[in-house]
């Protein structure tokens, strides 16, 4: 029976089908795999033979050659096991009872020595491949992978994204089930657990203002301050108040998750990735290894938030590799294996101290502050200079917190419960929609021509921008932040007060 079987390969952002070609001839029985197969694929010979034996299937007593085409692309992973075994079975058996000769057969799964089909993940990449192929398809999967695939399909339907057409999915428990007429499943009922919002402490007025501007305008934000001023509490507010990201960005992020050890999750339509102070550039940008490309934290935060805790403590190389992503919302990785361009449109929320001891230096202290600092002025200056000028220029909003957020200053009736959090989130969403209606985009995404052409003709605007900004990038960052302030206040026009406040948040 001349029927083609396919698996797939996902390298970086490229996803392609792999054709399983099987040839047998009467010679001394042997089993050979061709096509630049990695070590784990070469080991599949023993897994497939053991699975045939455990499932009481007869392995061909011939010379068996399996080629993974195209043969000039290096393959890795154990997900090709099922497709190779299925190709061998089709070569030596008859499936006319339930196979359509015009259909393309896809299979994805690892084989155990007992013949059980094991999950291999990467369902977002597989879904992307199936959406681009409109011919009739038959897909063989393990039960776990089929459940993940149905969840992704339902999510894409809700977001009105394309879903695979002319697709029949067959769930296999073991390799022996291939010989049986599989039971088709078109609906996967999975009840999602309700999401319970936490109870959060209220923020101080200045902190709440920074939070509102950062979320509504989706601005890169740097929060500096000593210990105890509520920086960690601010991050919790970001987690629960940030609106859902664009479905296409969420889907691209799910594909990037296929290249990491992270499991695809649709619990929230935006990610919040926290990065520690000892992070390395390869961990941020992504890397190439024996198993192919592995996504970095920047691409895993695509469409969401990247939390950079203790940002001033980061190594210089790690901070400087953020230049291209913050400016162009993408990064280019060039290695021996090739060049890959990765989309990483994220919002940076960075926190840090003002000095090495974590106190409040004298130049930032007011009369009411009780926080002290034991550092020498030169230590403080050197610590703040760890943030280079180019990186500081790419951050839209910089705020220094002085006042401590202590439990005694919070009244019991002011605790923010789930109802208040939901109401606050809706308010921020309304302000963001106001900005989109007035400006045509979220303020942080406004283009330079639009900003310059729509600047009020009042000479005081131009004079203030010339006096208070040091570069064109800083000028346009301030103009975008001023538009966010206009949207938060739902003002019909940009005022000089909006621009003055925006310039006060520049580094």
pLDDT digits (tens, 9 = 90+) for 86-102: 999 988 865 655 566 67
CA–CA distance from 441 to each of 247, 432, 447, 505 (Å)?
16, 9, 9, 22
Whole-number pLDDT of residue 52:
95
3-state secondary structure 260-326: CCCCCCCCCCCCEEEECCCCCHHHHHEEEECCEEEECHHHHCCCCEEEECCHHHCCHHHHHCCHHHH
How far apart are alpha carbons 112 and 118 in whole angstroms? 7
Q: pLDDT grade, residue 190 (50/70/90)?
A: very low
Whole-number pLDDT of residue 257:
83
Whole-number pLDDT of residue 266:
63
> Which of 191-195, 340-344, 361-365, 426-430 bottoms out in mean pLDDT, i.e. has the lowest?
191-195
Helix (H) or strand (E) holding 54: helix 44-54
How far apart are alpha carbons 188 and 268 in whole angstroms? 20
> Residue 410 pLDDT more than 70?
no
Q: Which of 253, 309, 321 is nearest to 283 (CA)?
A: 321
How far apart are alpha carbons 200 and 209 in whole angstroms? 17
Mention every residue, 6+ apart, whose C-beta is less than 8 A from residue 94: 1
Q: Per-residue b/e over 155-183, b at no fewer than 16 CB within 10 Å? A: bbeeeebeebeebbbbbbebbbbbeeebe
> Which of 121-125, 242-246, 298-302 bottoms out in mean pLDDT, i.e. has the lowest?
242-246
Average pLDDT over residues 412-439: 85
Average pLDDT over residues 109-124: 94
Whole-number pLDDT of residue 467:
93
Whole-number pLDDT of residue 11:
74
> Which of 176-190, 224-238, 289-303, 340-354 bottoms out in mean pLDDT, i.e. has the lowest?
176-190
Per DSSP bridges, beta strands 292-295 and 286-289 are: antiparallel
Q: Per-residue b/e over 123-139, b at no fewer than 16 CB within 10 Å? A: bbbbbbbbbebeeebbb
For the chain, the C-alpha Rg in angstroms (whole number) is: 28
Q: What six digits make up the tokens of 353?
A: 């101290």
Whole-number pLDDT of residue 412:
43
Average pLDDT over residues 346-351: 96
What one-character-per-residue DSSP string does 428-443 give? HHHHHHHHHHHHSS-G
The 3-state DSSP composition of the chain as helix, strand, coil percent (nearest 5) reads: 40, 20, 40
Whole-number pLDDT of residue 187:
40
> Residue 43 pLDDT more than 60?
yes
How do residues 264-299 score in pLDDT, each as one tens digit? Answer: 566 556 678 999 899 999 899 988 766 667 888 999
Q: What six digits make up the tokens of 359?
A: 């106190």
Q: What are phi and psi of 359, to 5 degrees?
A: -95, -165
What's the CATH architecture for 197-507? Answer: 3-Layer(aba) Sandwich (3.40)
Whole-number pLDDT of residue 188:
41
Mention every residue, 6+ apart, whose C-beta is less than 8 A from residue 88: 22, 48, 59, 60, 64, 66
Average pLDDT over residues 25-52: 94
Whole-number pLDDT of residue 295:
84
Q: Which of 98, 169, 151 is nearest to 263 (CA)?
A: 151
Q: Which of 396, 250, 244 is nearest to 327 (CA)?
A: 396
Domain boundaries, the chain: 5-179, 197-507
3-state secondary structure 330-341: EEEEEECCEEEE
Q: pLDDT grade, residue 195 (50/70/90)?
A: low
Average pLDDT over residues 218-235: 90
CB 59 within 8 A of CB 148: no
Whole-number pLDDT of residue 333:
82
Whole-number pLDDT of residue 68:
96
End-to-end CA distance of the chain: 70
Mention every residue, 6+ apart, whose C-beta is less than 8 A from residue 226: 353, 354, 355, 358, 359, 360, 371, 373, 401
Q: pLDDT grade, residue 183 (50/70/90)?
A: low
CB 13 within 8 A of CB 341: yes
If 0-12 CB within 10 Å is exposed, 13-18 middle and 19+ buried, where does residue 188 land? Answer: middle
CB 121 within 8 A of CB 145: yes
CATH code of the region 5-179: 3.30.230.10
> Residue 340 pLDDT more than 90?
no
How far apart are alpha carbons 54 and 313 in whole angstroms? 56
> Which of 279-288, 423-432, 490-499 bottoms out in mean pLDDT, i.e. has the lowest?
279-288
> Residue 128 pLDDT more than 60?
yes
């Amino acid at each position: 029976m001349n029927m083609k079987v396919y698996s797939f390969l996902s390298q970086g952002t490229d996803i392609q089908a792999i054709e399983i070609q099987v040839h047998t001839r009467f010679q001394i029985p042997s089993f050979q795999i061709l096509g630049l197969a990695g070590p784990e694929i070469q080991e599949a010979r023993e897994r497939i033979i053991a699975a045939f034996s455990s499932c009481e299937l007869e392995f061909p007593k011939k010379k068996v050659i399996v080629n993974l085409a195209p043969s000039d692309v290096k393959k890795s992973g154990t997900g090709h096991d099922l497709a190779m075994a299925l190709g061998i079975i089709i070569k030596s058996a008859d499936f006319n009872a339930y196979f359509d000769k015009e259909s393309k057969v896809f299979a994805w799964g690892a084989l155990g020595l007992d013949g059980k089909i094991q999950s291999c993940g990467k369902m977002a990449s597989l879904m992307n491949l199936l959406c681009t192929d409109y011919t009739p398809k038959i897909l063989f999967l393990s039960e776990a992978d089929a459940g993940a695939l149905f969840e992704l399909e339902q999510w894409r339907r809700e977001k009105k994204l394309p879903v695979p057409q002319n697709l029949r999915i067959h769930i296999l428990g073991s390799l022996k089930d291939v010989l049986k007429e599989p039971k088709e499943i078109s609906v996967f009922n999975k009840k999602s657990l309700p999401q319970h919002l936490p109870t959060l402490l209220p923020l101080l007025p200045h902190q709440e203002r920074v939070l509102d501007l950062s979320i509504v305008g989706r601005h890169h934000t740097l929060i500096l301050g000593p210990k105890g001023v509520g920086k960690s509490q601010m991050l919790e507010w970001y987690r629960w108040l940030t609106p859902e990201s664009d479905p296409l960005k969420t889907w691209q992020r799910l594909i990037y998750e296929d290249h990491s050890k992270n499991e695809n999750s649709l619990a929230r339509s935006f990610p919040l990735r926290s990065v520690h102070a000892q992070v390395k550039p390869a961990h941020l940008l992504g890397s190439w290894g024996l198993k192919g490309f592995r996504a970095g934290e920047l691409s895993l935060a695509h469409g969401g938030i990247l939390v950079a805790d203790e940002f001033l403590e980061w190594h210089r190389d790690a901070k400087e590799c953020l230049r291209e992503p913050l400016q162009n919302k993408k990064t280019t990785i060039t290695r021996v294996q090739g060049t890959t361009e990765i989309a990483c449109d994220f919002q940076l929320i960075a926190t840090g101290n003002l000095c090495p001891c974590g106190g409040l230096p004298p130049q930032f202290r007011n009369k009411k502050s009780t926080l002290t600092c034991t550092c020498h002025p030169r230590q403080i200056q050197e610590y703040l200079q760890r943030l280079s000028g180019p990186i500081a220029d790419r951050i839209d909003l910089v705020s220094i917190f002085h006042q401590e957020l202590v439990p005694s200053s919070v009244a019991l009736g002011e605790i923010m419960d789930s109802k208040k959090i939901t109401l606050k989130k809706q308010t921020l969403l309304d302000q963001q929609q106001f900005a989109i209606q007035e400006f045509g985009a979220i303020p942080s995404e406004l283009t330079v021509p639009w900003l310059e052409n729509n600047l009020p003709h009042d000479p005081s605007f131009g004079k203030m921008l010339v006096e208070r900004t040091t570069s064109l990038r800083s000028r346009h960052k301030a103009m975008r932040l001023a538009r966010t302030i206009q949207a938060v206040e739902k003002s019909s026009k940009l005022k000089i007060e909006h621009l003055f406040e925006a310039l006060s948040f520049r580094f």
